[in-house]
Amino acid sequence: MIQDVVWDISIALMGSLAAVFAGVAAGAEVPLTNYGPAIASAYRLRIWLFALAIVVLVGVNYRALGALPYIANPAEQSGLAMKRADATGQQWSWTVQPNSFVVGQTVEFYVTSKDVNHGFGLYDPHMHLVAQTQAMPGFTNVLRYTFAQPGTYQVLCLEYCGLGHHIMNTQINVAAR
Amino acid sequence: MTSIEAIGSRSRISATAAVRAYLVVCGIVLLLMMLLGLTMRLAQAQWIDVEPNLFYVIMTMHGAGMVGIAGLGGAAVMWHFVRRYIPVSTGIFIANLVFFLIGAVLILGAGFIGGFAGAWTFLYPLPDHSGGLWSANGAAAYMAGLLVIGVGFLLLHLDIARGIISVYGGLGSGLGVKQAFGFAPEKDGPPPAVAASTMAAISNIIGIVVGAVVLVLSLVNLYVPSFTFNTLVAKNLIYYFGHTFINVTIYMAVIAVYEILPVYTHRAWKTNRAFYLAWVLSTLMVLTVYPHHLLMDFAMPTWILVAGQIISWLSGLPVLLVTAFGTLTNVYRSGLKWDAAAGLVFIGVAGWAIGVIPAIADGTIPVNSVMHNTQWVPGHFHTYLLLGMMAMMLGFMTYLAGPKSPSRLAPLGVWLYLIGGTIFVLAFLAAGSASVPRRYAVHLPAWLPYDRAGSIGASLVVAGALILIVRFLVSLRSPIDATP
Amino acid sequence: MTRGFAPLLGLVLCVGVGALAWATEGFRVITSEGARQVSIARHPIPIPNVRLIDQDGHTFSFGDYHGRTIFVDFIYTRCPKLCGELGDDFRQALSRSDAKNGHVAFLSISFDRADDREALQLYADRYAARAPRWRVAMPYDARGLSMLLQTFGVTVIPDGMGGFVHDGTIYAVDESGRVARILDPGARIAAVPP
Amino acid sequence: MTRGLVLVVWGILWLVRTPLESDMALHMTVQLPLLIGIGYMLATFLRPHEPRWFARADWFGIPGLLLVVFATSFWMLPRMLDLALSDPWIDLIKFASLPLLAGLPLGLSWSRMPGLGRAFLWANFIPKLAAIGGLYLAAPTRLCAYYRLDQQTTAGAALIAVAVALGLSWSAVLFIGSPPFWSKGGENAVERMRGAASGGP
C-alpha cells in the first residue's frame, strides 16, 4: 500500500527533524565560546543538504510523474477494449452502472455529478482507499482502475457536499475469476 | 532602534493597545474554535452525541474561525514588528479589527442561526444546494461576512504596501530582489520583518481580490440561480484565495521568530543572499502552488497539476533550508535561557518545518490519489498551523505579556500544547494513512481508536492553550509600558 | 468628517441604490429578458387581436383561443438549431398533455417574412404538428408581426449569415388571452413534470 | 480650445453612436470609457468653478467616487445596455449622465481620495472587471437581447484583456516603484523612513 510507505517515510523524516530541533533546544543553554567556525561549518552543511534535497526532489518527482492517474485518451476514443462504468453523484447518493466486475478487469469510471462537487473514492474490501477522482457538475473525469481482489468494494464521497456527505456511498461487487 | 525614536511614544502606546486588542480577540476566538474542534473529535470518537447537521455547522465555523484568526494573529505579529521600519496607519490597523468583528458576527449568525454548513471553502455551487437545510440568506450572510473581513485585510495589506513603498521605493526593493540576485550588497537589504511583510502584502492583495471576485459571483448565483458559471473555474478561484490566505498567515507569524529569538540568543538574524532569494522564491511559489489542491480534478490541464506538484516540492526548500536552518543556527549553543515565549516560537518553526513533510507527500500526485481528502490532510495542515503558526502567535502573545506576569504555569501550558498537539496531529496522520475520510460527521467503528487518541490530544492542546491565553489576558491588567 | 458630508453621502447612496433597484427590479434581474419576466408575471399583457395564417392556410386570431392556455414560441423555418429544439420540446409536451387535458394548445409563430405557407407546412410536418392543437403560423401582414413582437417583447436580430439570432423563449398565454408568463431562457416545457 | 475639443468629441460620439453600439465590445470598452473620459476632462476645466459646498462635503472624495461607482455599475447592467440601444432617449440620458455623473465626479474627487483609498478602488475595480468579462465569456445564454452570443464572448474577452493590462501595469508600478528601481537602493532607508514617519503615521 502506498499509504504505508508514505506513513513510514514521513514519520521517519518528521521524527529525525524533531530530534534535531530537540537536540539543538536541549543544548542551547550552554553557550559556545567560538561561534564563528561552527556557523561556517553549518553553512557548508546547508549546501550539502541543498544538493541532497535537489537530488531527492528530482528523483521522486521523476518517478511520480511517470505514474499520473490522468487519462488523456479514454479507451472509447482510442479503441481499446475496456469496461466502461458510469458513476454519477447526487446529494447524497452514488449511481454506478454497471456495478459488478471480475478480478483482473480494468474498468474506466466516467465520473460526474448532477449538483455539487463530490469525490469518487474507491475503497477495497479492507476499506483501503485505492483510487479517487472528483465528481464535478459539468465535467466528466475518467478514472481507470484494475480490480485486484474479489469482494465488496465501496464508493465513498470524498468531497464535502452537504449534510448527507458521510452517508453517501454505494457498493461494487467484484467476483473471483 | 533609531526608527523607533521617530515615532512618538503616544502613538506607540495606542499601537500597542491595538496589538493587544488583536491578541485578545485571537486568544478568545482561538479557544472557542479549539473547543469546536474538540467537539468534532469527541463526536467522531462517539464519546458525545452531536447531530450531523450541527456537526457540519461546527465544522464550517471551526474552519472559517480558525482561518480568520490565523490571518488576524499573523497580521498582529507582522504589524507590531514591521512598524519599527516603515510608517503604517494605526487607524487602518484598528479598522481591520472592526471589519473582522462585523464579519465574524455575520458568519456566526450564518452558521448558528442560518444553519449554514457549506464548509469554510463555500465550494461553488454548494452554498446554493443546501438540500433545504440552510437558506439562501444564511449562505449570503456567510459570504457577506467573508467579504467584509476581506475588505479589512485588503486595506491593511495595501497600507503595509504603501508604507514599504514609501521607504524602499517599491515592493521589489522591500522584498530584497536586488540583494537576492546580487545587484546590491547584502548588508543594504531590508530587515527580515520587511521582506516577510512585503511577501505577505503582495500575496494577500492578490489572493483577497481573487476571493472577492468568486464571493461576488457566488452571491449573484445565490439570488439569480440562472446565472451560473464554470464549476472548475470557481474551484480554481476559491482555492487560489483560500490557499494564499492561509499560507501567508505562517509567513506573517514567522516574523515573530525573526524578531524574538535574537532577543534571547543575542545573535542577530543573518540576512544574506540566500535569505532574500528564499523570500523572493516563496512569494512566487505561494502565488502559484495552489493547484496542489486540485490534483484530483482530472479535468484540469495536466501541465498545471504537474506544475502544482513540482512547486509543492520546491516550496518546501526555502522553509526548511533558510528559516528552519536559520533558527537552528541562531539557537545552537547560544546560551539562551528558555522560557515559554522562546520555547513557543522555537516550537513554531519546528512545527512548520515538520509539517512541510506530510504536506509535500500529499502534494505528490500518485500519493494524492489515495490520500487526498483523507484525514492526512487535516493531519498535515494542523501540524504547521497548530504546532507552527499558532505556536508562533502564542509565543508572541507570551512575549508581549512579559516576564512580570504569572509564569509558573506557563511552561506547563507549553508542554501540554506540544505533547497534546503531537498526539493530535499524529492521530490525524495515522487515520489518513488508514484511509479515514476527512469531514465525516459519523465514523465507522474501525476508525474510533484514531478519533479517541485524537480527542485526548485535542483536550491536552485546549488545556495548554487555555493556560497560555489566560496568562496573557491576566497580564493585560498591568498598564502598557512605553519602553519596549 | 466635514459639514455636508453625511447628507451628500446619504443622497448619493439613496439615488444610487434607488437607481440600481429600479434597473434590477429590486435586485432580482440584470437582463432585459429577466425584467420582462418579472413585469409580465405582475401585469399580464393583453394580446392585440392579430390575424394569423397557419400551416393549413386557415386564418385565425388569438381571440379564437379564448378559455385555453397557449404555449407560444417564435421561430423561423430555416433555423438550423434552436427552432429544432423548440419543435422537439413542443412535440414532447404535446404527446404528454394529450391524455391529460384538451385545453392546452401550442402555437409557433414565424417572424421571418421570407417564410410562406409551404415553409410552415414543411416545418409542421417535421415535428408532426397538427392544427388546431399545434399551429405553425405567421401573421397576416408586417404590421401584425411587429405588433406581436412588441407585445411579447421578442427581439430578433440578423445573425449576419442570412439567419436570425433569437432567444427561443417560450411564452404562456392565459385563458383570457394575455401573455402571463415567460419561461426562463432555455427552459423547456417537456422538462417540467406534468 | 481644448475645452471646445472635448465638446466636439462628445458630439462626434453621439453621431457615431450607432456603429459604436452595434458591437458589444466597442460599446463597453470604447464608448463608455470615452464618455467617462469626457467628463474627466471637463473636471479639469471646471475645477476652479467647483461649488464650495461640494468641495467641502466631498470628504476624502468618498461621496463623489461612490457616485462614480453607482453610475458606472448602472450603465454596465446588460438591461441598461439593451435599453440604451432600443430607446434613443435612454441613450441620450446615458450620454449626459456618464460624463456628468461618472467622469466629472471622478475628476473632481479622485485627487481628494488618499492614496490608500485609490489603491483600494483599483484593487477592487480590476478584478471585478475581469469577473464581469469572465461571466460574459462563460454565460451560455445571451445577456443582452440586442447582441449576438459571439459579440458577448468578444466583449468578455475584451474586458478581461483590459483588466489584465491594468493589473499588470499597476503591479509593475507597485513592484518597481516610482523612483528608478536600479538606482535607488535601501541604503537610505532609515533616513527616508524618518522623513516619512515625521509626517505622522
A33: buried, middle or exposed (CB in 10 Å: 19+, 13-18, 0-12)? exposed
Chain-chain contact of D74 with C1 (C-beta, under 8 angstroms): no
Q: Which of residues 172-201 of D touch C (CB under 8 A)?
A: none
Rounded CA-CA distance C164/C162 in Å is 7
**Closest-CA residue of chain B to C29:** B224
**Closest-CA residue of chain D to B162:** D116
What's the length of chain C? Answer: 194
Chain-chain contact of B210 with D127 (C-beta, under 8 angstroms): yes
Chain-chain contact of D178 with B169 (C-beta, under 8 angstroms): yes
Which residues of chain A are within 8 Å of residue B277 when distances are taken between CB atoms?
none
Interface mutation vs chain D, best among B165, B216, B236, most D CBs within 10 Å: B165
Out of A34, A65, A96, pick the residue that ends a domain: A65
Pick the closest to residue A7 from B383, B431, B347 (CA basis): B431
Residues A162 and A117 in one domain: yes
Evaluate whether A46 touches B321 at the Cβ level (below 8 Å): yes
Which residues of chain C are within 8 Å of residue B227 when distances are taken between CB atoms?
30
Ranges of chain C whose pLDDT falls below 50: 99, 193-194
Of D124, D126, D196, which has the smallest distance from its Cβ to B166's Cβ?
D196
Q: Answer whether C touches A (≥3 Cβ pairs < 8 Å).
A: no
∠B391-B393-B397 over CA atoms, to 5°? 115
Which residues of chain C are within 8 Å of residue B224 when distances are taken between CB atoms?
28-30, 34
Pick the closest to residue D127 from B241, B152, B247, B140 (CA basis): B241
Q: Which of residues 196-225 of B touch D (CB under 8 A)?
A: 202, 205, 209-210, 212-213, 216-217
Residues A50 and A96 in one domain: no
Residues A98 and A46 in one domain: no
**Is there a domain that residue A120 lies in?**
yes
∠C11-C17-C21 over CA atoms, to 5°? 145
**Is there a domain that residue A70 lies in?**
no
Out of A43, A65, A87, pick the residue that ends a domain: A65
What are the beta bridge partners of residue C173? C70, C179
Q: Which of residues 138-177 of B touch D (CB under 8 A)?
A: 154-155, 158-159, 161-163, 165-173
**Is there a domain that residue B36 lies in?**
yes
Rounded to the nearest angstrom, the gap between the alpha carbon of residue A145 and the centroid of all alpha carbons in its chain is: 14
Residues A128 and A43 in one domain: no
Residue B190 contacts D, CB cutoff 8 Å: yes
Residues A83 and A128 in one domain: yes
Evaluate whether A62 touches A86 at the Cβ level (below 8 Å): no
**Is there a domain that residue B299 lies in?**
yes
Residues A88 and A121 in one domain: yes
Residue C29 contacts B, CB cutoff 8 Å: yes
Per the structure, the complete domain to which residue B389 belongs is given by 2-475
Of B118, B133, B296, which has the smallest distance from its Cβ to A119's Cβ?
B296
Interface mutation vs chain B, best among D62, D116, D152, D173, most B CBs within 10 Å: D116
**Closest-CA residue of chain C to B224:** C28
Can you tell me whether residue B137 is helix, strand or coil?
A: helix
Evaluate whether B254 touches B324 at the Cβ level (below 8 Å): no
Which residues of chain C are within 8 Å of residue D142 when distances are taken between CB atoms?
165, 167, 185
Q: How many domains does chain B have?
A: 1
Of A7, A10, A158, which has the smallest distance from its Cβ to B373's Cβ?
A158
Residues A14 and A47 in one domain: yes
The ipTM value here is 0.80
Average pLDDT of chain D is 83
Rounded CA-CA distance C153/C173 in Å is 13
pLDDT at residue B318, as a whole number: 86
Residues A49 and A126 in one domain: no
Chain-chain contact of C28 with B224 (C-beta, under 8 angstroms): yes
D185 pLDDT exceeds 50? no
D197 pLDDT exceeds 80? no
Residues A82 and A149 in one domain: yes
Residue C35 contacts B, CB cutoff 8 Å: no
**Closest-CA residue of chain D to C25:** D79
- Rounded to a whole number of angstroms, the CA Rg of chain C reads 20
Pick the closest to residue C152 from C108, C190, C119 (CA basis): C108
Concatenating the DSSP letter of every residue in B117-130 gives: -STTTT-TTGGG--
The cell for B435 is 484511509
Residue B89 contacts D, CB cutoff 8 Å: yes
Per the structure, the complete domain to which residue A28 belongs is given by 2-65
Residues A93 and A20 in one domain: no
Rounded CA-CA distance B398/B403 in Å is 9
Can you tell me whether residue C177 is helix, strand or coil?
A: coil
Place of cell 502552488: B289
More confident site: A73 or B233: B233
What's the length of chain A? Answer: 177
Chain-chain contact of B297 with A165 (C-beta, under 8 angstroms): no
Using CB atoms, list chains with 3+ pairs below 8 Å to chain B: A, C, D
**Is there a domain that residue B386 lies in?**
yes
Rounded CA-CA distance B208/B240 in Å is 9
pLDDT at residue B256, as a whole number: 95
Q: Answer whether D touches A (≥3 Cβ pairs < 8 Å).
A: no
Gap from B474 CA to chain C (nearest CA, Å): 37
Can you tell me whether residue D32 is helix, strand or coil?
A: helix
User: Of A163-172, C83-92, D87-96, D170-179, which gets the smallest average pLDDT?
Assistant: D170-179
pLDDT at residue A81, as a whole number: 77
D184 pLDDT exceeds 70? no
Residues A28 and A101 in one domain: no
Q: How many domains does chain A have?
A: 2
Residue A67 contacts B, CB cutoff 8 Å: yes
Which residues of chain B are within 8 Å of residue D196 when distances are taken between CB atoms?
86-87, 163, 166-167
pLDDT at residue B3, as a whole number: 43
Rounded CA-CA distance B455/B41 in Å is 5
pLDDT at residue C194, as a whole number: 44
Ranges of chain B whose pLDDT falls below 50: 1-8, 482-484
Interface mutation vs chain C, best among D23, D77, D87, D149, most C CBs within 10 Å: D77
- DSSP run (H or E) holding A90: strand A83-90
The CATH number that applies at residue A168 is: 2.60.40.420
Phi then psi for residue D153, to 5 deg, are: -65, -45
pLDDT digits 0-9 by tens, A27-52: 999 988 888 888 889 889 999 999 99
**Is there a domain that residue B321 lies in?**
yes
Q: Answer whether B touches C (≥3 Cβ pairs < 8 Å).
A: yes
Of B129, B297, B333, which has the smallest distance from its Cβ to A162's Cβ?
B129
Chain-chain contact of B364 with A64 (C-beta, under 8 angstroms): yes
The CATH number that applies at residue B243 is: 1.20.210.10
pLDDT at residue C190, as a whole number: 65
**Closest-CA residue of chain B to C187:** B226
Per-domain boundaries in chain D: 2-179
Residues A101 and A160 in one domain: yes
Gap from B350 CA to chain D (nearest CA, Å): 32
Gap from C159 CA to chain B (nearest CA, Å): 24
Residue C20 contacts B, CB cutoff 8 Å: no
Gap from C184 CA to chain B (nearest CA, Å): 8
